[in-house]
Amino acid sequence: MAFDGRSTADDVLAGVDLSGRVAVVTGANAGIGFEAARALAGRGAEAHLACRDRVKGERARDRILERHPGARVQLGQLDLASLASVRDYARGFGPPRVDILLCNAGLITWGYKETRDGFERVVGVSHIGHVELFSGLRERLARAGRSRLVMVSSQSHRSPRTLDFSRFPFPRQKYRSLLAYGQAKLCNALFAAEVQRRYSDLGITAASLHPGSMIPTEISRGSRLTRIVFALVTPFTKSVAQGAATSVYCATAPEVEENAGGYFADCAPKKPSREAQDPAVARRLWDVTRELIDAASMRVGDRGPSSPW
């Protein structure tokens, strides 16, 4: 069945049986992440809500159970701005396998901020934290036999046009909010493509996606101005349910394997930017990210989980 920009997450999953599947969704307490996790749980998946704020996570879990009594919903505390938190989450993750890792969490800030490990916060949360999460759960993804890594990117990955490694992540003195966000989203697309090249033999299918423009989510939580802008454009954008459609499509649709490692929008493969398609850039990003993580780990004396790099 064909889907488009008007399709919702429930439309995409109608008739799909996800019983026995284990899905991890980051940023699942609100917005697109919540709607994706709810839809997956509603079709039988064991949905793990990986949330920074436990109270908000508990509310999200309760909302899902109200909508889908009997659904299997688990809550785990995960702060992607802290490598220690990411590692604790991966080490303490209960199920022996993961069928779907949906890396949804992200943010935009209008001033320079850092993660607990000293990374520029937008790239630190959206890219580096998710890279370390994949590292910690990779063996469980491989154990599933046929699993999915889904990176929620954005059309914003097209700006900047190239990934300037001399400004990666952006230093305080050169910080530009929209470019930092675009840089992070470009990293999401590049990372999905590189995971596909490196780990397809383990049965892992990776994809990145654009959920839709200016969808009202908690991505705007760091800026009052952004919240106002999002509120003004909401009548003209996709709903959150429509925004989550491509996420669950990439997580479950068999057709995604035909475009493994690719970029999707409106539940269909789309052509990403030229930079996002460059294997040399993806390989360099992979190496640079690993160096950044290793350097941060050395500073605090935590080498982290067994590395697949």
Residue 264, C-beta contacts closer than 8 angstroms, at least 6 positions apart: 207, 208, 209, 210, 246, 249, 250, 256, 270
Q: Where are the beta strands (DSSP E) in 110-192?
A: 147-152
Residue 230 has pLDDT above 50, yes or no: no
Residue 20 has pLDDT above 60, yes or no: yes
Give the pLDDT of residue 229: 44
Q: Which residues are catalytic?
A: 181
pLDDT band for 220, please (50, 70, 90 cuts): low
pLDDT band for 207, please (50, 70, 90 cuts): very high
Residue 71 has pLDDT above 50, yes or no: yes
Pair 44, 18: CB distance under 8 Å: yes
Give the pLDDT of residue 303: 57
Is residue 5 helix, strand or coil? coil
Domains, the chain, in order of start with CATH, read: 9-300 (3.40.50.720)
The secondary element (H helix, E strand) that includes residue 280 is: helix 279-300
Q: Where are the beta strands (DSSP E) in 63-219?
A: 73-77, 100-103, 147-152, 204-210
Pair 202, 142: CB distance under 8 Å: yes
Please compute the mean of the pLDDT values over residues 195-199 and round it to a whole number.
98
Give the pLDDT of residue 208: 98
For the question of whether the overall pTM of this predicted structure is more than 0.85, the answer is yes
The neighbour count for residue 205, using CB atoms within 10 Å, is 25
Residue 47 has pLDDT above 70, yes or no: yes
pLDDT: is 283 or 213 the higher one?
283
Number of H helices, E strands in the chain: 11, 8
% of the chain residues with pLDDT over 90: 87
Is residue 103 helix, strand or coil? strand
pLDDT band for 2, please (50, 70, 90 cuts): confident
Please compute the mean of the pLDDT values over residues 135-158 and round it to a whole number.
97
| Distance between CA atoms of residues 223 and 80, nearest Å | 19
* Residue 157 C-beta-side C-alpha neighbours within 13 Å: 31
Residue 228 has pLDDT above 50, yes or no: no
Give the pLDDT of residue 84: 97
Q: Which residues pair with 231 in a beta bridge?
A: none
Please compute the mean of the pLDDT values over residues 229-251 and round it to a whole number.
78
Please compute the mean of the pLDDT values over residues 21-50 and round it to a whole number.
98
Residue 224 has pLDDT above 60, yes or no: no
Give the pLDDT of residue 215: 63
What is the overall mean pLDDT for the chain? Answer: 92
Give the pLDDT of residue 299: 79
Residue with tokens 């802008």: 229
Least Cα distance to 284 among 158, 122, 136, 165 occurs for 165
pLDDT digits (tens, 9 = 90+) for 165-189: 999 999 999 999 999 999 999 999 9
Cα angle value 225/231/235 (rounded, 5°): 150
Return the DSSP state at 120.
B
Give the pLDDT of residue 237: 74
Residue 53 has pLDDT above 90, yes or no: yes
Give the pLDDT of residue 25: 98
| Distance between CA atoms of residues 223 and 221, nearest Å | 6
Is-cis flag, bond preceding 269, omega within 30? no
% of the chain residues with pLDDT over 70: 89
Give the pLDDT of residue 251: 98
Please compute the mean of the pLDDT values over residues 123-138 and round it to a whole number.
98
Give the pLDDT of residue 218: 56
Q: How far are the Cα atoms of 24, 37, 45, 130 from residue 68, in angstroms, in the given order?
A: 18, 12, 12, 28
The secondary element (H helix, E strand) that includes residue 49 is: strand 46-51
Please compute the mean of the pLDDT values over residues 136-159 and round it to a whole number.
97
